[in-house]
Structure 1
């Protein structure tokens, strides 16, 4: 079940990579490259920092197949149809929600401190988006342009940590924590929720 949830998360990031490439007028190869970059960057950085070998995606052919298939399907879809205006933000929020929590779970399994669990959850969730936006030439990346992004990831990682400590089973804890991340992120998108800024000014290049 947890592996299925993870496949949902990386699939969402794969689609977001293609959507970002399409918006940047890249060719299909660029779209597939961003699909993989957005999907595996966060987990790769997490595993390298935790000294986990081999890297999780190097021995999971199902994961790589799903990323490639979702990326290709999204490219074909965009060839004939136009997606809703906020589709990139939606699939990005879905990927963020699942991947963040899976990252927190991996950190707990590695025996790191509670604060490090939250940090690794955030790193796993946001790195793919940062890599995707930088490769698309978008600066600052979404992480630095929107308030409730890393904040939502931190809340979800913290929720998973608390549920795990309370003895909640992994599947339920993952589902509840991912739902929290998704709800916070989409609330920020649709209702214009922002964190307070110094002197009431909202300036670019500030992360939360």
Structure 2
């Protein structure tokens, strides 16, 4: 189980780092900027989670391979000639993967430390969304989590509760984790594809 969790953590780091680096290149940032945005996107949510739960040392400090990996990715990404051609819209897929992985793993850690389902769900949402919020803020964009035309944090929150219920009902940690993770990724992508929102402007023309 540990190997699965660690593999998912590394995949989440890579996915969120890629989304941050795409955003940084779209703003014509230099290699330092690319690394910084990739770093805060990938590790910002976990850092907030650890600080909120007084979990020290911070996870990425214990696992230095994660920031080292992001540094290597940033160097490659900065000097890859085709990187600047990647459209900012391409952020959606890696961001959805990162959102799913870090939401569920954040909630799982909170449960392991004895917190209730409700508190664990809030910590899961923080873990999954905070890095992306930092990315967008530093890139002078309104974060996904605050955009009226985006359904984001609510998907993360619902995915946490699906994970909790599946874990209780199925009595399989691995299966519940995968169900919760896939739910978040798939629903997030469908929400973007079909413009699903929690609330629409009543004055908006339905033809547009």
Q: Please confirm whether the aligned pair reaches a TM-score higher than 0.5, indicating the same fold.
A: yes
Structure 1 partner of 2:144: 142
Structure 2 partner of 1:94: 97
TM-score computed with the length of structure 1 as normaliser:
0.88
TM-score computed with the length of structure 2 as normaliser:
0.88
Q: Distance in 2 between matches of 1:185 and 1:89?
A: 9
Q: What root-mean-square deviation, in Å, do the aligned CA atoms of Structure 1 and Structure 2 show?
A: 1.8
Seen in structure 2, the aligned counterparts of structure 1 residues 132 and 162 have a Cα distance that, compared at 3 Å, is same
User: Contact 2:24/2:34 (CA < 8 Å) preserved in 1?
Assistant: yes
Deviations 1:114-152 (A, max 9, x none): 1111101100000001111111111x2221114310011
Can you give the 5+ residue segments of structure 1 that lack an aligned partner in the other structure? 203-208
Q: Name the count of aligned residue pairs.
A: 199
Where do residues 52-71 of structure 1 align in structure 2 (5 Å cutoff)? 52-71=55-74
Q: Distance in 2 between matches of 1:152 and 1:73?
A: 32
Deviation at 1:201, TM superposition (A): 5.1
Deviation at 1:6, TM superposition (A): 1.0
Where do residues 101-140 of structure 1 align in structure 2 (5 Å cutoff)? 101-138=104-141, 140=142
Q: For 1:200, what is the secondary structure of its paired residue?
A: coil
Deviations 1:159-207 (A, max 9, x none): 111122235333322221110000111011111111134x6257xxxxx
User: Contact 2:102/2:127 (CA < 8 Å) preserved in 1?
Assistant: yes
Match among 169, 173, 189 for residue 170 of structure 1: 173
Seen in structure 2, the aligned counterparts of structure 1 residues 167 and 142 have a Cα distance that, compared at 3 Å, is same
User: Contact 2:26/2:88 (CA < 8 Å) preserved in 1?
Assistant: no
Where do residues 1-208 of structure 1 align in structure 2 (5 Å cutoff)? 1-77=4-80, 79-81=81-83, 82-83=85-86, 86-138=89-141, 140-145=142-147, 146-197=149-200, 200=202
Q: Distance in 2 between matches of 1:59 and 1:182?
A: 28
Q: For 2:95, what is the secondary structure of its paired residue?
A: helix
Can you give the 5+ residue segments of structure 2 that lack an aligned partner in the other structure? none
Seen in structure 2, the aligned counterparts of structure 1 residues 84 and 23 have a Cα distance that, compared at 3 Å, is closer
